[in-house]
Amino acid sequence: MQGVRRRPSSEEILCLDLGSVSAASSASVASSLSIDEAESPEARILRLISEHPVVIFTRSACCMCHVMKRLLSTLGVHPAVIELHDSEISALPYSSPAPPAIFIGGASIGGLESLLALHLNNGLVPKLLQAGALWS
């Protein structure tokens, strides 16, 4: 996979190859995700985390990611979902778990269990409001 491509489904999932990007593939990208060939995979991930209020990093066909997206969509939040290859997972910040990993407002929340615990403790909606992913 080169650059960013959209998965053919009704859900908004972006597949991002954090390796090298050809000029032809980067020119055809029609999203807010910009790819700079000189940028390292770690720097790209950090930039994506800072550019979006809610980001989920996942693997292909991850059922836990689906649950995360469903929970957030019931609250009215549409996260940026970045699908990583196994070789790209090591580029995630050291404090994040293995995918699926969710970041809200630039902070690592953790995986599905952490997200559900935050929601059950009534901490998810305030965090989403603070990050600008929800409006009161």
Which residues of the chain are modeled with pLDDT < 50?
A: 1-11, 20-31
Query: Global pTM?
Result: 0.73
Distance of CA 42 to the CA centre of its chain: 14
Residue type, 123: G
Which pair of tokens denotes residue 72? 């957030």
pLDDT of residue 60: 80
Answer for the pair 81, 56: CB distance below 8 angstroms, yes or no.
yes
pLDDT of residue 91: 84
pLDDT of residue 74: 95
pLDDT over 90, % of the chain: 46
DSSP letter, residue 128:
H
Question: Could you give the domains of the chain?
Answer: 4-131 (3.40.30.10)
pLDDT of residue 39: 79
Which pair of tokens denotes residue 20? 């090298």
